[in-house]
Amino acid sequence: MSVRDLELPRIDTLHRAGDQIYGLLRRHIQSMQLAPGASISESEVASILGASRTPVREAFQKLREEGLIKTLPSRGSFVAKLSRQRIHEAQFLREAIEVAVVQKLATKGISRQVIAALEGNLQQQKVAAENEDIQGFHALDDEFHGLLAKATELMRVEAALDREKAHLDRLRGISLRVDGHPAVLFSEHQAILKAVVSGESDRATQLVREHCQSIFNALNALHNQHRDYFDELIPSAADRQNRHTEL
């Protein structure tokens, strides 16, 4: 799918155009509506959105800094392909942060106000899962983990978590399309919150590790089905096993 195939709204002149364009393109890249390797041009985006080149250039620069767009001399700009190495690194860092968060909260306690906010979020997750609202569930998933991170009162934690999740979100979007997966994630979130509130640090840690590592199922499935989406063709676990068997 190209930029012209997307349903993009015109720019709201009351708000910064660069931020709007960045947000729109980022969402479509993370949802895989703009597939890895797809061509994307500043002039085409500006024309479709009715914007000048300056805010579009600003949005492209932010996306390049995040590693979501790659610009090649004399060839143009493309949606960055996925990197198994970078995904593994991001998952490792995300898991380390998430584990530290729940350990701190389970040990030190969590306020009733935060618990109420998390429970409200879970109720919305349940509705989104039942209605198969993938985008809505994805946003609520992010909010759930963000609320836990904020509860530590360590302000850089949430920003660090958000930065690392950026390299996992395309896989998360794919996994959410699997029938019943949002409901599974909802149940996992419920269990994590219960363990944190009960002060069960070891239990919360185990649940979070399993929750974070489930992304590898989506990674292996996508790598097997769409190897052209990846920057490097590193053999999957199944490939390595097959090769070992052949030898």
What would the two tokens of residue 42 be? Answer: 């500043």
Residue 176, pLDDT above cutoff 50:
yes
pLDDT digits (tens, 9 = 90+) for 90-126: 999 999 999 999 999 999 999 999 999 999 999 999 9
Across the strands, what pairs with 78?
Answer: 39, 70
pLDDT of residue 97: 94
For residues 118 and 215, give the distance between their C-alpha atoms in angstroms, rounded to a whole number: 22
For residues 3 and 21, give the distance between their C-alpha atoms in angstroms, rounded to a whole number: 12
Across the strands, what pairs with 39?
Answer: 78
How many CB atoms are closer than 10 A to CB 119? Answer: 12
* pTM confidence score: 0.78
Instruction: Label residue 7 by pLDDT band (50, 70, 90).
Output: low
Name which residue leads in pLDDT, 49 or 5: 49
Measured N-to-C along each axis, helices 134-151 and 84-108 cross at an angle, to the nearest 10 degrees, of 50
> Residue 65 in 3-state DSSP?
helix
Residue 234, pLDDT above cutoff 50:
no
- Helical ranges in 66-133 per DSSP H: 84-108, 112-130
Residue 9, pLDDT above cutoff 70:
no
CA count, 13 A, side-chain hemisphere, 37? 9
First to last CA, the chain: 40
Residue in 98, 130, 64 with CA at minimum distance from that of residue 215: 98
pLDDT of residue 5: 65
pLDDT of residue 50: 82
Residue 247, pLDDT above cutoff 60:
no
Instruction: Label residue 27 by pLDDT band (50, 70, 90).
Output: confident
Residue 1, pLDDT above cutoff 70:
no
pLDDT of residue 6: 67
Residue in 62, 78, 48, 47 with CA at minimum distance from that of residue 231: 78
Say if residues 7 and 28 touch (Cβ distance below 8 Å).
no
pLDDT of residue 244: 43
Residue 240, pLDDT above cutoff 50:
no
Say if residues 30 and 82 touch (Cβ distance below 8 Å).
no
